[in-house]
Chains A and B, each alone.
Chain A
């Protein structure tokens, strides 16, 4: 499956990755070749085979509803790129 440049740009935007004009061809080539590899699956008959998400087919354990965490805000704020008044700051969000 070959992806064209528009598709690469669409995926890149969904993934929030800036792709410059001079990189698009390279990505289109390499990602298309990966998809070619992957497309070997398509000729396999998988009818009646249930998808396997967890190799052990295990089930979810439940956590008792208890507050176990302490306030670690200062630790987390200390490693934030930009923080003020206990908040993480980001460029203005426009709704």
Chain B
């Protein structure tokens, strides 16, 4: 038995096998029944979802359905949703109900998709394990002792557990791809500027990008067709046409040049993960692709540069949570300073506070050039490495993470050890290029992802490359043992 995909649900709705209302009711009942095992949802929006489903059924009956009309999905609880609590997994937004809608969630509403609720995450998207949530840790459906990855851990767990067929995530340093790898999903971080950031609670503005998390590349393409739209409300959104991301999924890969950077296979990479990754890459040789050794010499520098740029931007982006206009305000503030300092200290979690302080320090007088400007110069060196690589190859492949999903609690005491987990994903955000993770097998029962990176705005090619792998392998169709027979 395998998962139900968005494509299958779309077909079933079109054929009248089931209605969106029936489907949505089942999904919500299933979440209520099973999510206590994973804690993947923060908020369910049952009434709204059923209303959306009924509206979708009317559109389907009227023959006006788009591919995702009536399909239930979930949004990472970083997307502001009008009338539905949006928390960023923080106490500071515990009761925040936005009077506005993010562009991405609005696009899904416009196409008639059903939003069943908001998924758990690391607070303000800061984390790689989904252990930094005010609403509790998320557990990996493949092994509930393991983390699901982060920060989009709730979306990953919800899809991996079969609760919804697709969910949105955001990726600032790997927050879509790493949980996708840990949970055996397809997750794509589009090119910076491809998907609107409007209405998404910001972590690091120059790195944040939203994308889909699904079982298959085809499903990811269906979601990208909805999400990837120019948005005049976001100055960094690129003004360009949206291709049909499903159109080229079946293109032949004969002659495809795949670059494999040696720096992705150096010390620190788990040997079994390396083997699984190379095994997946070798699948492409049979399809006529050419594998080329390349080098990304500045890869290691992405960690220090990222941990300056992201906290710096975050320290400024999170200043708005001051207890004045919305969100948490401490009880009985003695004065203004007390209100600021206590509200923020009481309602931000430790990792968030740590990053705010690192960023505040990096931007402060006397350190700005040595930290922030230096990191931006290194950022250009990293980008240039990729620009050079893409003059030789069509896509780059390697591991997503140094190891499979680690045990819950195993890295929480050492933030730096946690940061090193992101070595393969951070550089992609620094360069702003698109990249995805697709299932590539298992190590000790825990999933491993293959990292496929492409040139700017090559999302359709990446989905084509992943889809072709999914035609000749069945890793993406595997289900956790606990679900079999469920």
CA A53 to CA B337, docked complex, whole Å = 32
Contacting pair B357 A56 (CB below 8 A) = no
Query: Within B342-394, which residues are at the interface with A (CB < 8 Å)?
Result: 342, 344-346, 348, 353-354, 356-358, 360-362, 364, 370-371, 373-381, 383
With a cutoff of 8 Å between Cβ atoms, the chain B residues found around residue A55 in the complex are 192-193, 206, 379, 383, 430-433
With a cutoff of 8 Å between Cβ atoms, the chain B residues found around residue A53 in the complex are 206, 376
- Is B317 close to A, CB under 8 A? no
With a cutoff of 8 Å between Cβ atoms, the chain B residues found around residue A63 in the complex are 232
CA A16 to CA B357, docked complex, whole Å = 10
Contacting pair A46 B339 (CB below 8 A) = no
- Is A34 close to B, CB under 8 A? yes
Partner of A75, one of B99, B378, B431: B99
Contacting pair B193 A81 (CB below 8 A) = no
Contacting pair A38 B235 (CB below 8 A) = no
- Is A67 close to B, CB under 8 A? no
Q: Name the residue on B nearest A93 (C-beta).
A: B336
Partner of B345, one of A7, A17, A39: A17
With a cutoff of 8 Å between Cβ atoms, the chain A residues found around residue B342 in the complex are 18
- Is B419 close to A, CB under 8 A? yes
Partner of A14, one of B307, B329, B364: B364
- Is B327 close to A, CB under 8 A? yes
Known A27-B357, A55-B431, A56-B238: A37·B96 in contact at CB below 8 Å? no
Known A61-B235, A88-B324: A8·B357 in contact at CB below 8 Å? yes
Partner of B360, one of A11, A30, A79, A88: A11
CA A93 to CA B328, docked complex, whole Å = 19
Contacting pair A41 B357 (CB below 8 A) = no
Query: Within B180-213, which residues are at the interface with A (CB < 8 Å)?
Result: 191-193, 206
Comparing B13-21, B214-222, B266-274, B298-306, the segment that makes contact with chain A is B298-306
Known A15-B357, A88-B325: A49·B430 in contact at CB below 8 Å? no
Contacting pair B326 A56 (CB below 8 A) = no
Contacting pair A11 B357 (CB below 8 A) = yes
- Is A58 close to B, CB under 8 A? yes
With a cutoff of 8 Å between Cβ atoms, the chain A residues found around residue B97 in the complex are 79
Chain A window 71-95, contacts with chain B (Cβ cutoff 8 Å), 1 for yes, 0 for no: 0100110111110000010111100
CA A63 to CA B325, docked complex, whole Å = 26
With a cutoff of 8 Å between Cβ atoms, the chain B residues found around residue A33 in the complex are 415-416
Known A11-B361, A17-B348, A76-B99: A81·B326 in contact at CB below 8 Å? yes
CA A11 to CA B357, docked complex, whole Å = 6
Query: Within A33-67, which residues are at the interface with B (CB < 8 Å)?
Result: 33-42, 44, 46, 49-56, 58, 60-61, 63
List residues of A whose CB falls within 8 A of some B CB. Answer: 3, 7-8, 11-19, 27, 30-31, 33-42, 44, 46, 49-56, 58, 60-61, 63, 72, 75-76, 78-82, 88, 90-93
List residues of B whose CB falls within 8 A of some A CB. Answer: 96-97, 99, 191-193, 206, 232, 235-236, 238-239, 300-301, 303-305, 307-308, 315, 319, 322-329, 333-342, 344-346, 348, 353-354, 356-358, 360-362, 364, 370-371, 373-381, 383, 415-416, 419, 430-433, 456
7 residue pairs bridging A and B, Cβ less than 8 Å apart: A15-B360, A36-B416, A38-B362, A39-B304, A55-B433, A76-B325, A81-B327
